[in-house]
Amino acid sequence: MALANRDKPEDGSPPPGAKPKDWTLLMLRIASFLATASATIVMALNKETKTLVVATIGSNPVTATLTAKFQYDPAFVFFVVANGIASLHNLLMIVVDLFRHKFNDRGICFVMIPIFDMLIMALAAAGDGAATFIAELGKNGNSHARWNKICDKFGPYCDRGGGALIASFIGLGLLLVITGLSIIKLQTKPKPSNDVSVP
């Protein structure tokens, strides 16, 4: 009786002669997931409330309580959404990688993975770019447009936002590497399978 390499044994283990799991790509996806998820959580929870003196009437200071939240700026909202989607994509691809042996490795779904990787990378890059612009504006302001900086008043808020940006850029760099490896893996032709004779 002949058992083809593509056939699966009854115990559910990978078929004989199957390609070993690509642990490099899997570890990169896990690292990218952790980076983008951290950026999403830190920015989404970023909030600071502060009481500031806004004016002085005679000798009496007039104070106002101000709150800085990521929801107040569309660029930061886009950043959270983009990194959240990137995190979900990486999580889904991790699950697919872990159970890849149960599916046709050359099916249409796996052909689409590099395309999805590129789309997610572009989305994450757009979110990072938008948030970086607003972060720079909040840190230094713009004297020509008469936009005042806020990081001198909301230091912890800006520090946490900066940490989220760093984590997100790390995730973006990993996504770039993942996309390249996905394309290379897709273009690699599998070796022809040979039947193994079983007495």
DSSP state letter for 1: -
Burial of 18 (0-12, 13-18, 19+ CB in 10 A): middle
Contact (CB, 8 A) for 131 and 165: yes
In a domain, 4, yes or no: no
Domain count, the chain: 1
pTM over 0.85: no
Residue pLDDT, tens place only, 63-92: 778 788 888 889 999 999 999 999 999 999
In a domain, 5, yes or no: no
In a domain, 183, yes or no: yes
What are the residue ranges of helices labelled H in the chain? 23-44, 74-98, 108-140, 155-187
In a domain, 167, yes or no: yes
Instruction: Tell me which residue has tokens 């083809």.
Output: 4
Residue pLDDT, tens place only, 109-138: 667 788 889 999 999 999 999 999 988 888
In a domain, 13, yes or no: no
The boundaries of the domain holding residue 107 are 21-188
Q: How far apart are the first and last CA of the chain?
A: 6
The H or E element spanning position 65 is strand 60-69
In a domain, 42, yes or no: yes
Residue pLDDT, tens place only, 154-170: 888 889 999 999 999 99
In a domain, 12, yes or no: no
pLDDT at residue 30, rounded to an integer:
93
pLDDT band at 104 (very low <50, low <70, confident <90, very high): low
In a domain, 193, yes or no: no
